[in-house]
Amino acid sequence: MKPAPFEYHCPRTVDEGTALLARYGDDAKVLAGGQSLVPLMNMRLARPANLIDINRIESLAYIRDDGRALRIGALTRQRAAERAPQVAERCPLLRDALRLVGHAQIRNRGTIGGSIAHADPAAELTAVLVALDGEVTARGPKGTRVIAARDLFVSYLTTSLDPRELLTEVCLPAPPKGAGWSWMEIARRHGDFALAGVGVVLAVRGGKITAARIGLTGVGPTPVRPAEAERLLTGQTPSEDLWNGAAEAVRAAVAPDGDIHASAEYRTHVAGVLTQRALREAWERAREAA
């Protein structure tokens, strides 16, 4: 498992990086954490002629709270975000989801931007981005643009990023204070790809749900935002029946593939079970916060 030959480039600034991408974009890959790309290259499934190593672009690693949202530089290591006080304070859903991304060793190298750009159908971060209506910033030959989460994920391992664009920042709007949250997933072992995963945020006032956000992973080629389930929950008083209804709506909204680890029926069923349990937990947390 040795990679095919490639040219190695090591830009120091974002401009240098985008210049390299502009030049080699069609046959280049960006190396950030490498936790997905390097195995693909070692197995010769990916054979980019050019590898653009952005690990020296220090300006891309940061976590900022701009009052409305968390702005996370693409090169921020997953482990750093997992342990950042701003994340625990403003977006605990992200922290809880991060804890289940692979193992600590992987998170020491893997980056926030890398995971999102890689768009694995069972990734945690893509579901969190979609649930929170996040967005990413990308810089390319045509300049800088912002892409909303709902427009970002196209299919398996495929985003709407142009091969010549560098993802520079991930922006996650922070849930309102006092909102409850929960991340739950089923994996065959600690750290494995989720067979199904659900992230939930519930904003609550006066014993009623004012806003519900749900993001699912592992249930299709891209993360799923089940609009009907969210609609069902909004304005309602929590109850077991309400959670069941939302679970059924989630089941209707997903069309997972089966594979050797779990059938499509199982994933659909479990997506509903996890939704119920996550809603219950999010509601508990909202109550505690009140």
User: Residues interacting with another protein, by CB under 8 A?
Assistant: 1-5, 29, 37, 40, 43-48, 118-119, 121-122, 155-158, 186, 188-193, 195, 221, 257-263, 265-266, 269-270, 273
Helices marked H in the chain — which ranges?
Answer: 14-24, 37-42, 78-83, 85-90, 92-98, 104-109, 112-118, 124-131, 149-152, 227-233, 240-253, 264-289
CB-nearer residue toward another protein: 232 or 274: 274
Q: Which of 2, 200, 32 is nearest to 112 (CA)?
A: 32
CA gap 25, 51 in Å, rounded: 10
d(CA 46, CA 60): 25
Q: Minimum Å distance from CB 150 to another protein?
A: 18
CB-nearer residue toward another protein: 4 or 227: 4
Q: How far is the CB of 90 from another protein (least distance, A)?
A: 29
- In angstroms, what is the minimal distance from the CB of 163 to another protein? 10
Beta carbon nearer to another protein, 44 or 231:
44
- The residue among 148 and 264 lying less far from another protein, judged by its C-beta, is 264
Q: Shortest distance, CB of residue 277 to another protein, whole angstroms?
A: 9
Q: What's the rounded Cα separation, in Å, for the pair 35 and 103?
A: 11
8 Å CB contact between 235 and 209: yes
Shortest distance (Å) from residue 102 CB to another protein: 11
DSSP letters along 136-171, please?
EEEEETTEEEEEEHHHHEEETTEES--TT-EEEEEE
CB of 189 to another protein, least distance (A): 5
Looking at beta carbons only, is 155 or 239 nearer to another protein?
155
Nearer to another protein (CB atom), residue 179 or residue 198: 198
Minimal distance, residue 15 CB to another protein, in Å: 24
Residue nearer to another protein on the CB measure, 75 or 122? 122
Give 172's strand partners.
70
CA 73-78-82 angle, to 5 degrees, is 105
Phi and psi of 136, rounded to 5°? -125, 155
